[in-house]
Chain A
Amino acid sequence: MRLIEQIRMAFRSLFRRGQSSTQLDDEIRYHLDRQIAENISAGMSPEAARTTALRQFGNPALLRDQTRATWNWTWLESLLRDLRYGTRTLIRTPGFAAIAILIIALGIGSNVALFSIVRGVLLSPLPFTHPQQLYSIYESNAHNEGMARFLPVAGGVFTEWQKAAQGSAEMAAISPFQNYNVSSEAGRLPERVDAGWCSWNLFSMLGVVPQFGRTFSEAEDRPGSEATVILSATFWHRRYNSDPAIVGKRIWLDAKPYTVIGVLPSSFVYSGAFGGNNIQVWAPLRHEESSIMLTTFEMHDMLVIARLHNGISLSALLDRLGVVQTQIHNAHPHAHDAVSGRTLLDDSVHDYKTPLYVLLAATGCVLLIACMNVASLLIARAASRRKDLAIRSALGGGWARLLRERIIESLLLSIAGGSCGLLLAYASIQWLVHTRTDMNRIEAIHIDGVVALFALGIILLCGFSAGLVSTLSSSRKNLLGSLHDSSRSQTAGSSRATLRKSLLVLEVALTVVLLAGAGLLIKSYARLQTKDLGVPVENVLTMRISLPEVRYKTPEQQVAFLDRLISQVRALPGISAGLVSTAPGEGWGGDHLMSIAEHPPLAKGQGLDFMIRGADPGYFSAAQIPLMRGRIFREDERLKRANVALVSDSAARQFFPGEDPIGKHIRDQFDNTQVEVIGVVGDTRWSISEPSQPMLYWPIYGNNYTGATIFLRAPRNVDSIAMPVQKILSALDPDLPVSDVMTLREAINKSTVDSQFDSLLILAFAAIALVLAAAGLYGVLTYLVTQRTSELGIRIALGARRQQLLRTVLFDGIRPALLGLFVGLVGSAAAVRLIRSMLYQTEPLDPAVFASVAALLLAVATLACLLPAWRASRLDPIQALRTE
């Protein structure tokens, strides 16, 4: 009852404030009139009656105010008043407001964007049921330090693990490195798509429900059963126009019929550490994979995901699997001997963790700098309004009230800046999502409620801290001093500048850290870009084809097709062309453990690790890989006579020290085939960022290659030969799709996109920081010069040399920059250790980078200080002395 009454009153005093006000006036007037009437009837003259009534009542104006103060929402009223006042003062100085808002927008925008990315990619749970129970399990080596800790799993190993994990975990295997040629159908072109093979239980284990149809059954995950396939949402949308009737229909993959049994939801993206976020179709693993791969313990092309049962920990599972792995290793010495695992989330975002946190730290620095800059601007403003404030304080303006005003002003700035920043963040996230489709979990990035809260949080933090810092600079104590300053004091306000100078030192230090980080990353990126792949990269075009085994059944058919293709391509004018299983920079491409027949037998389980490439005789001249000794393959060394090999220079030096490899025989430890070395060629790199590995080439005609990269080199304008080559291909086989058509330069750019992205972003942040710091220096020095105008004037009048003045003022500004530079260099030396893993062939403490950072900073600082210093030295002494 009372509550309703209170709410009614609260409502009334909020929305009918005007009416309540007039009613209060009426009420008081009524009271006075009654009292006057009574006084008159008591015999007073009207005049006396009036004054008596007023005396009895008290001061009506004051009492009215006191009464109003009892109403609800008084705080809101005064807040609105302050807001109005704050907005007015900001509008009066649009230049200041615009600069401050821009600075804050940059700071808050970059932070909000990075926060949403970090949250979406690194922190938000995977879109599966109970994702915290999901782990990726890998094989690993207990003793071999050089190899990675997380290695793919062999088919036979997976089967053993699955048995051993009964009761403690459910396990599924994925082979994400597959692809299919999709045949042309009803007007749709043939194309080549990335594919994944998975054990039948993968989707049910993850908790992924298809939007149409169903997932695989156990019976379909067997050799010889009917071929089935599940489509990804993007593929279904793109190729089948989102037609639900595709479920139950047949499509042709590698010229074999498959029944489509389901379509995955668009929320499902597989993103493991080994890629696979572009998988378009899924097929059952045991149906597709060869029986060798399913039972081998030595060839690794599967990734394993486990869902732990309740109460089982990862280490318990790893212990259990470790026992099995040791047994496998004892029976099969080439198998790995240990097991490792990590959460599925960690597995998919591991590569992005360091860069993203480094970027987040960088944006944090930018925000700090922005905050300090705005605080510094506010201090300068407070200084110019000092007298106004002092007078208001002297007239009884409460300190708290003045503080509130100041904070509201800086909050207004940071809210306006933050809103612009949010727009900025939204735009940059949209841009990122569209440009970095290669990044795992990019689809999980959204601006949601938590991000909005985060944005609100930093807006408030920024506003309060900037406001508070600027208020601290004008404490109540020197109020009297401010009023005295108006008389001719020649050394005014030095204390205020001290605070701004220490802010500047911090600002410059943070800028130096950012610059150093950016410098290192850019140097590393440049190293990557100019890295020699082992072949000249300009004017090279590569494209991949793969022959469906159904149509090209025998090795003879495959070789005949490749031979016909390459001789027709070579007939194109001005072009040199070759076939290779995997071109330089195109990826790992496979390795085998080998031994040398002429050498003493190796210990059990040991082998020489060669990267294996198939190539045709023309490849070496097309790629311009130099022949160092011996000869290249002959045209007739194919099929049955393909038992010859070329080794790379590093293989010759590493595996044949002090002897001639030509004439030696290399034996494949896996199937005991033997090849004779006939020549030595130059080294090439499989990845731009990795050192070259010992490599072995054997003829692509006859070592079971069903796919190849066509390597084309033209004297100029290599893009223009893509069309004629594709015409030749479609004339030979219209169903054969061509994929990955790109120049070698494009391929390199693609593989260095991470490095480019990180270094450019950090550079952008560093540039922003540098501009802000320069603006800060300029602002502080200009302020100091204004403060000292009359002092400088007197000096000039007394005969000080202008050169001397210029130097004094300049040094005054450079001093905090020098101090900041020193602090920043020390800080960077500590901070760059964090980005060590992102650097390629660049030392974290690279002296050249640090020196150029110091030089750049000093140059910018000098430039920023020069103008105010020059102005100070040009002062007209008469003018200067006249200014108060």
Chain B
Amino acid sequence: MGKPSDLVQGTLDLLILKTLLLDPLHGWAIAKRIQQLSGEVLQVQQGSLYPALHRLEQQGWIKAKWAESETGRQAKFYSLTAAGRAQLERETANWYRLSAAINLIVSEA
């Protein structure tokens, strides 16, 4: 199973922010959502989400709240902050530029 670094550097942050754009989610749900949305292509090691989540929280891009989950147990729900939204936009723009550039090189060959 791959480490987070197997993903393109910094992409995990983008994925997490993107996943949280619509509604607050807890860690397990974020992992599931990334897996589903990517059509099961991205096999993120689930545990490696947590260092990333906590780092984003320390940086103020996301915030966390304990709430009752769908199974009735308390879970930690993460949601985007205003600053996080702005950060997501920046990272998305970055991603497009980067992938376009890579595309260019790859299709050239």
Chain A residues, Cβ within 8 Å of B83: 1-2, 5
Chain B residues, Cβ within 8 Å of A27: 26-27, 50, 75-76
CB-defined interface of A1-17 with B at 8 Å, one 1/0 digit per residue?
11101100110010000
Given the complex of chains A and B, what is the CA–CA distance between A24 and B54 in angstroms? 10
CB-defined interface of A49-69 with B at 8 Å, one 1/0 digit per residue?
000000111111001101101
Chain B residues, Cβ within 8 Å of A10: 58
Name the interface residues of B51-102: CB closer than 8 Å to any CB of A.
51, 53-55, 57-61, 63, 66, 69, 71, 73-76, 81-83
A750 contacts partner chain B, Cβ-Cβ < 8 Å: no
Query: Which residue of A has the minimal Cβ distance to B75?
Result: A30
A23 contacts partner chain B, Cβ-Cβ < 8 Å: yes
Q: A27-B27, A30-B26 are in contact. Are A3 and B60 (CB under 8 A)?
A: yes
B45 contacts partner chain A, Cβ-Cβ < 8 Å: yes
B51→A2 contact, CB < 8 A:
no
Q: A6-B59, A30-B26, A67-B54 are in contact. Are A55 and B1 (CB under 8 A)?
A: yes
Name the interface residues of B28-55: CB closer than 8 Å to any CB of A.
28, 31, 45-48, 50-51, 53-55
Q: Of the candidates A5, A31, A64, which one forms a contact with B63 in the assembled complex, judged by CB atoms under 8 Å apart?
A: A5
Given the complex of chains A and B, what is the CA–CA distance between A33 and B27 in angstroms? 12
How far does the Cβ of B26 sit from chain A's closest Cβ, in whole Å? Answer: 7
Q: Of the candidates A13, A31, A66, A69, which one forms a contact with B28 in the assembled complex, judged by CB atoms under 8 Å apart?
A: A31
Chain B residues, Cβ within 8 Å of A30: 26-28, 69, 73-76
Given the complex of chains A and B, what is the CA–CA distance between A23 and B50 in angstroms? 12
Q: A67-B51, A70-B55 are in contact. Are A57 and B60 (CB under 8 A)?
A: no
Query: Which residue of B has the minimal Cβ distance to A56?
Result: B46
B60→A6 contact, CB < 8 A:
yes
B82→A58 contact, CB < 8 A:
no
Interface residues on B, range: 20 to 34
Query: Which residue of A has the minimal Cβ distance to B70?
Result: A34
Number of interface residues of A (CB under 8 A): 33
Query: Which residue of A has the minimal Cβ distance to B81?
Result: A5
How far does the Cβ of A139 sit from chain B's closest Cβ, in whole Å? Answer: 74
How far does the Cβ of A32 sit from chain B's closest Cβ, in whole Å? Answer: 9
Q: A30-B28, A58-B45 are in contact. Are A1 and B54 (CB under 8 A)?
A: no
B58→A72 contact, CB < 8 A:
yes
By secondary structure, the A interface counts as: helix
Q: Of the candidates A5, A55, A63, which one forms a contact with B48 in the assembled complex, judged by CB atoms under 8 Å apart?
A: A63
Q: A27-B27, A31-B28, A69-B51 are in contact. Are A2 and B60 (CB under 8 A)?
A: yes
CB-defined interface of A25-54 with B at 8 Å, one 1/0 digit per residue?
011101101110100000000000000000
Chain A residues, Cβ within 8 Å of B59: 6
Given the complex of chains A and B, what is the CA–CA distance between A23 and B74 in angstroms? 11
Q: A13-B58, A27-B76, A34-B28 are in contact. Are A70 and B46 (CB under 8 A)?
A: no
A67→B50 contact, CB < 8 A:
yes
How far does the Cβ of B16 sit from chain A's closest Cβ, in whole Å? Answer: 13
A31→B46 contact, CB < 8 A:
yes
A31→B27 contact, CB < 8 A:
yes
B51→A63 contact, CB < 8 A:
yes
Given the complex of chains A and B, what is the CA–CA distance between A64 and B57 in angstroms? 15
A71 contacts partner chain B, Cβ-Cβ < 8 Å: yes
Name the interface residues of A446-493: CB closer than 8 Å to any CB of B.
none
How far does the Cβ of A26 sit from chain B's closest Cβ, in whole Å? Answer: 7
Q: Of the candidates B54, B71, B81, B82, which one forms a contact with A71 in the assembled complex, judged by CB atoms under 8 Å apart?
A: B54
A9→B58 contact, CB < 8 A:
yes
How far does the Cβ of A130 sit from chain B's closest Cβ, in whole Å? Answer: 52
Given the complex of chains A and B, what is the CA–CA distance between A70 and B12 in angstroms? 15
B46→A57 contact, CB < 8 A:
yes
CB-defined interface of A71-97 with B at 8 Å, one 1/0 digit per residue?
110000000000000000000000000
Name the interface residues of A146-192: CB closer than 8 Å to any CB of B.
none
Given the complex of chains A and B, what is the CA–CA distance between A71 and B53 in angstroms? 11
A70→B54 contact, CB < 8 A:
yes
A1→B57 contact, CB < 8 A:
no
Query: Which residue of B has the minimal Cβ distance to A70?
Result: B55
How far does the Cβ of B94 sit from chain A's closest Cβ, in whole Å? Answer: 18
Chain A residues, Cβ within 8 Å of B27: 27, 30-31
Given the complex of chains A and B, what is the CA–CA distance between A72 and B63 in angstroms? 15
**Chain A interface (Cβ < 8 Å from any Cβ of B):** 1-3, 5-6, 9-10, 13, 23-24, 26-28, 30-31, 33-35, 37, 55-60, 63-64, 66-67, 69-72
- Interface CB pairs A-B, < 8 A, 14: A2-B60, A2-B61, A5-B60, A9-B60, A10-B58, A13-B58, A23-B76, A30-B27, A31-B28, A31-B47, A57-B46, A67-B51, A70-B51, A70-B54
Which 7 pairs from chain A and chain B are nearest by CB? A2-B83, A58-B47, A5-B60, A63-B47, A70-B55, A2-B60, A57-B47
Known: A3-B60, A30-B75, A67-B53. 14 other contacts (CB 8 A): A1-B82, A2-B61, A2-B81, A23-B66, A24-B54, A27-B76, A28-B50, A31-B46, A56-B46, A57-B45, A58-B48, A70-B51, A71-B54, A71-B58
